[in-house]
Amino acid sequence: MCLVTDQHSVPPAARGRLATLMPMPLLVEPRERGLVLTGRLRARGDAAWLRVVEDLLRPGTGVRLDRADDPAVEVLHDPTLAAEAYRIDVDAHLRITAGDLSGLRHACQTLRQLLPDTAGLAASPAGTAMVIPGCHIEDAPRFAWRGAHLDVARHFMPLPWLFRFVDVLALHRLNVLHLHLTDDQGWRFDVRAYPDLTRIGGWRRETGNPGEPEGDGTPHGGYYPQDQLRSLVAHAASRGITVVPEIDLPGHVRALLAAYPEFGIGRNPVATTFGIFPEVLQLRNDTLTMVEQVFAELLDVFPSPWIHIGGDECPRGQWRDDPVSARLASARGISSVDDLQRWFTGHLHRWLTAHGRRVVGWDEILDDGPVPDAVVMAWRDVRYGLEALAQGNEVVMAPGQFTYFDRYQSPDPDEPLGQPGLVTWRDVVSYDPTAGIPADRLGGLLGVQGHLWSEYLHTPQEVEYMAFPRLALLAEVGWRGRVLAEGIEQRLDAHLARLGAAGVEYRPLAGPRPWQRGGSGRRRRHI
């Protein structure tokens, strides 16, 4: 059944949804008639592409596509369109035009946002009229890397929720999920050759809150078997999202060394508090063999062209005090042990390049000298991104002051515990990732990414509270280059209602709901 509506039967609410899209497409024009997306629709186009459309639109609408001529739905391939670009025409019929599968998927996500909010649920409630308002939309992204980073090391997040998080990212036409899989407080990637990484390194005795003399006395942990991650990768791919894994080395390795102390200098359990610890890898040849084995298994699970090797916050104290490290450095012709990290990064860089992947690292990897053709994530400050671009590196902008969504969202004392610092949603609205970049270097700017470090995010609900609305706005920065600031508050309100209808625990613009407040317990705002 295909119900074509005339202009009188397109409800004003449906027409209004054209003004609530997030990210807002580059061109949106209303058309008179709309289309009721429900039941069985006659459809024409490449069978695989039609299956993609049906897969993305069916949950929440129940729509099924039957191949037929005289179609209500048509899917066209236009190879002249840019990567990820798409066009939508709705005027009694629905026509989607895309240059590639990503564009096709983005078109479907925009269509989902044009449906009633309940279309964000896994199944459509009976009796909801799923009207798509008439429109002509032309759209293409400004940046190729539109990422969300999630720290599953500090607090483990359950796999089923990761699937859902991927769906929410896809709704915003984000295309990278950067998974921070290892850190001092937990190792989450199951490595067959080194089972103790997860058996021992995958959990900690308890968690200590800052400023409190005692830990909470409750064990915390978890890890992802490789097949779980493969299924996450496959699900993300079906949503047009690349999962970029990070193994953070050669610092932030307390969990690794708790399991295999022979690769470090001194022995310590998995960390139960947060911060920067002195423990680093002792970079012997057998340590490198272990690292290569870990990465070999990682590459087998993650087909991503980019592999993140961490490289942040690596103190030099242990190397300076360690005669073995001194000998290793001089045997390798390195004048100072401080340069061991650069040597290690170079080694991993060559290894990953030989295996056909690109290295991504935090901006510290350039502190000791250039690392040609590594992708640099500029987190400490925009300035590090500018320097990396000047050296010819590609850059993902990740500056703390705009993209660290573990920081507070407002000065309100009721905000739940977060990292010190303030990143309001209006800060994201004001963010221009191209600021300060000379025109001839703009090509090196791959894109932007929002960060969800989880020291103080214990549950998926807490992650969602910190992610939205800020990540939704950053998605628009990635898509359009800047947030379209005019009318943003109303648009954001409508978009948050859309997320809320799908069960996302966003932060209302007016402030935390009662159960989202920090209160006086473990989520008390005190730093």
Residues at the contact surface with ligand TNX, assessed by CB under 6 A:
312-313, 362, 379, 404, 406, 419, 453, 455
The rounded distance, in Å, linking the Cα atoms of 426 and 431 is: 9
What is the CB neighbour count within 10 angstroms for residue 30?
A: 15
Q: Classify the phi-psi angles of 272: left when phi > 0, otherwise alpha if psi is within -120 to 50, otherwise beta.
A: alpha
Q: In sequence order, what are the residues at sequence separation of 6 or more whose Cβ sits closer than 8 angstroms to the Cβ of residue 430?
A: none
CB nearest ligand TNX: which residue?
312
Comparing CB distances to ligand TNX, the nearer of 38 and 393 is 393
Comparing CB distances to ligand TNX, the nearer of 5 and 185 is 185
Minimum CB separation of residue 394 from ligand TNX in Å reads 17
Among residues 84, 100, 117, 183, the one annotated as catalytic is 183
Q: Partners of 135 in the beta sheet?
A: 30, 90
Q: State the burial class of residue 152 (Cβ atoms within 10 Å of its Cβ: 0-12, 13-18, 19+).
A: buried
Q: State the burial class of residue 26 (Cβ atoms within 10 Å of its Cβ: 0-12, 13-18, 19+).
A: middle
Among residues 313, 338, 367, 427, the one annotated as catalytic is 313
Comparing CB distances to ligand TNX, the nearer of 156 and 404 is 404
Comparing CB distances to ligand TNX, the nearer of 263 and 404 is 404
Q: What does the H/E/C string look like for 304-318?
A: CCEEEEECCCCCCHH
Minimum CB separation of residue 362 from ligand TNX in Å reads 4
Q: What does the H/E/C string look like for 483-526?
A: CCCCCHHHHHHHHHHHHHHCCCCCCCCCCCCHHHCCCCCCCCCC
Comparing CB distances to ligand TNX, the nearer of 99 and 251 is 251
Minimum CB separation of residue 418 from ligand TNX in Å reads 9
Minimum CB separation of residue 400 from ligand TNX in Å reads 7
The rounded distance, in Å, linking the Cα atoms of 150 and 7 is: 44
- Annotated catalytic residue 313: yes
Comparing CB distances to ligand TNX, the nearer of 37 and 376 is 376
- Annotated catalytic residue 252: yes
Residues in the chain: 527
What is the CB neighbour count within 10 angstroms for residue 374?
A: 25
Among residues 93, 180, 252, 458, the one annotated as catalytic is 252
- Contact criterion met (CB below 8 Å) for 167 and 239: yes
Tokens read off for 29:
């024009």
**DSSP designation for 4:** B
Comparing CB distances to ligand TNX, the nearer of 87 and 149 is 149
Minimum CB separation of residue 185 from ligand TNX in Å reads 10
- Which of 497, 460, 517 lies closest to 158, judged by CA? 460
Minimum CB separation of residue 175 from ligand TNX in Å reads 21
Minimum CB separation of residue 451 from ligand TNX in Å reads 7
Q: What amino acid positions are annotated as catalytic residues?
A: 183, 252, 313
